Structure formats: C-alpha cells, structure tokens
Amino acid sequence: MENGKTKKKTPAAARPRKAPARPKSLYSQDELKEIFRRFSIQRPEPKGELEHVNPFTLVVAVALSAQATDAGVNKATRALFKVADTPEKMLALGEEKVRDYIKTIGLYRNKARNVIALSRMLVEKFGGEVPRTREELVMLPGVGRKTANVVLSMAFGQATLAVDTHIFRIANRLRLAPGKTPDEVEEKLIRIIPDEYLYHAHHWLILHGRYCCKARRPECEHCVIADLCKSPEKTSDVPAPLVELPPQAVGATD
C-alpha cells in the first residue's frame, strides 16, 4: 500500500527476462578459460580425423563411424569416395556395392542401407545438397543429433558440440559437465565453455579424450590441465609442458 493505494504489479510480459543461469560447475570461469586456453595452444587448429572431400562424404563418413573407429572408417571409405562422392553417384552405385566397400565396418549391412536411403533423400528432397540446419540433417536416415552437429561444425563452420564417447567420458570423469545422457552433457558444455573457445571445443575435447584422457587409463603425466583437473581418478597434479603438438595425421588410429 502506498498512500492508501494498492501498488500495481508489472505485467509478466513487460518484465525484463533474465538470461539463463549457467549450470553449476566445479570449475570457475577463470579455470574454464584456462583449460581451453591451454588446449588452444596445444592444438591451435584441431581437425576431425574422418577423411572426406565435401559435405556429402562427411555426412556418410560420420554416419558410418557409429560404433567404429575413424581409422577403420577411413580405410573403407577411401576407395568408396573415389567412385561415389555425390549422392547421385552413390545411388548409381547401389546398396550391394556400397556394402562391398564398407564390409570391414561394424553393422555394415544396415549402414549401407542408410547410406543409400540418405542419398536418395538428399536428391529427392534437398536437390542433392547437404542441408545446413540440424532439423533438416536429422531427417536423413542414419543421421542423429551427434552426426548433424559434426557436419554443421566441420562442413559449415557452425559452433556446435557433438558429444561422442570420448567427450561423454571425460565430461563426466573430469566433472566438467556431468550428465547421464549425451544431450544433457552437450547442453551443459555449451553453457559453460567460454564463447571464444566454443567453435574448436568439440575437437579439443575429443582429441584430449582420444590421446590423453584415455578410457582404460588416463595418462595424467601427459596432461596439460593436470593441475586444474578435478577428476578423482587423476594420478598427477603436475601439468605436462604446454607446447604446440605436431600437425595431426588425419586417419590416425584411435
């Protein structure tokens, strides 16, 4: 009550909206910036290790990489992409021949079926061009959110974050962005990673998980963020020397 009058409430629609709060993290903003600063020095231009020649072959390669290593996929697709680097050529090749090229990859029969089906959809619905939105990409057979995010990042330069087994593992192990599902981890990482490092964060985290914070035993003695890491599994608090690594060899083994 003011001077005997009831104070009017501001309509909800007129109130300024609060920005979404960052999720609680064990790491401070300064620590998060330092983690990704070090990754940026170690690998200034990180790259995906799946061989491809255009957005179409990238979609196919990433779809084939489910439950398979990048090295195994590269070995199978080198010959395939020489004869079929567009959806039209892939359709002309046919499912049986695609199977023959990729039979060294796990689940190759189902994957060959998906490659033909996604090629057909690209031709019939998208004019043979790979779409540039997540909503359209996930319409393609065999393409889920992770594959779509990889394509958006690597083919079209969008700052996305695809949570594969490596990222899911270290996000939980390091207590960086713990979550029970890849989508939960992705949402948390997107919100805590400093904006200036978000574009390359996907590859930095994958490569860190693949070559340093390995599944069987993390190699803490080679880790550049050992002093910042909050994992209960870590065996060292002394960070490895922060030096730029040699250029990546695309197709390296997992």
Query: Per-residue pLDDT for the chain (254 aa), expressed as one digit of tens each?
Result: 444 444 444 444 444 444 455 556 799 999 999 999 999 999 999 988 899 999 999 999 999 998 888 999 999 999 999 999 999 999 999 999 999 999 999 899 999 999 999 999 999 999 999 999 999 999 999 999 999 999 999 999 999 999 999 999 999 999 999 999 999 999 999 999 999 999 999 999 999 999 999 999 999 999 999 999 999 999 999 999 999 988 765 544 44
Any catalytic annotation for residue 7? no
Neighbours of 94 (CB within 10 A): 13
Give me the CATH code for the 55-154 domain, please.
1.10.340.30
List own/partner pairs for 148-157 with CB under 8 A and 24 or more apart: 149/186, 149/202, 150/48, 150/58, 150/62, 150/202, 151/55, 151/58, 151/59, 151/62, 153/199, 153/202, 154/48, 154/58, 155/54, 155/55, 155/58, 155/59, 155/130, 156/55, 156/132, 157/199
Binding region = 213, 220, 223, 229
Please state, in angstroms and as integers, the Cα–Cα distance from residue 76 to each residue in 52, 102, 175, 186, 212, following that order.
12, 5, 36, 29, 26
Identify the active-site residue in 146, 234, 237, 254.
Answer: 146
Look up 164 and say whether it is catalytic. yes
Q: In this predicted model, what pLDDT tens digit does every residue of 85-132 receive, in sequence order?
A: 999 999 999 999 999 999 999 899 999 999 999 999 999 999 999 999
**What is the domain partition of the chain in residue ranges?**
29-47+159-222, 55-154
In this structure, what is the dihedral angle of CA atoms 61, 134, 145, 64, given to the nearest 10 degrees? -10
Give the annotated binding-site residues for [4Fe-4S] cluster: 213, 220, 223, 229
- Active-site choice (7, 24, 70, 164): 164
CATH of domain 29-47+159-222: 1.10.1670.10
Q: Tell me the pTM.
A: 0.81
